[in-house]
Amino acid sequence: MIATHESTRKLARRLENGTARILSATVSRTAQRWHVSFTVEVDRAVPERHARPGKVVGVDLGVKTLLTAVDDHGGVIEIEGPKALRAGLRKLQRLGKAHARKQRGSAKRTKAARRLARHHARVADLRADALHKATTHLAAGYETVVVEDLNVTGMVANRRLARAVADQGFGTVRRMLEYKTGWRGGRLVVAEPGPPPRKRPATPTADTHIRSHHG
């Protein structure tokens, strides 16, 4: 028997009821901890209509804030980005320097490496949690979510933006919104980059180039 840190009761119930099927399992090790990720096929009841039909929000992913959104009534929503990596940068630098000073092959160097890995893992967990909360809020509150089609690969290649882009998780935000809007009977619309949301309507116009992602 294997003990898990997170509860697997929900998955177990779905497997027992025949509403889920495990397609594959991937085992990995991060920060001295073993992880297993399941790819699961789930029977999910998708509503024919969103709980808030007609509600639209336009979203800009930024560097200073995770996102700035404007709804169809002109209301502005600003969600601070998960700056866990930047906030913990000093500690990461300190731990990294401490690790580098230790003699190669020594027990102290091994211990320092474990500390550094644990801190990186904690930062990743904090970032993922913040992204999930932000995207769930948008998908639940609006039938249509419009986001910019950002060139994430090109931005990461730019050294000045790489750290901020990686910390904010631009690509992750878009992926989360795509499946979460679909689960709730909504849709994700990908628009070409344009003026900030304060200067453009939340609803796409005829001049806006968009690609719609339905669930």
- Tens-place pLDDT, residues 30-66: 877 888 888 999 988 889 899 999 999 998 776 667 6
pLDDT at 109 over 70: yes
pLDDT at 157 over 70: no
Please state whether beta strands 56-61 and 67-71 pair in parallel, antiparallel, or not at all (unpaired): antiparallel
pLDDT at 209 over 80: no
User: Which residues, 6 or more positions from 80, have their beta carbon under 8 angstroms from its beta carbon?
Assistant: 65, 66
Share of the chain above pLDDT 70, in %: 74
pLDDT computed for residue 162 by the predictor: 60
CA 20/CA 32 separation, integer angstroms = 30
| pLDDT classification of 118: cutoffs 50, 70, 90 | confident
Q: Are 51 and 139 in contact (CB under 8 A)?
A: no
CA 86/CA 124 separation, integer angstroms = 12
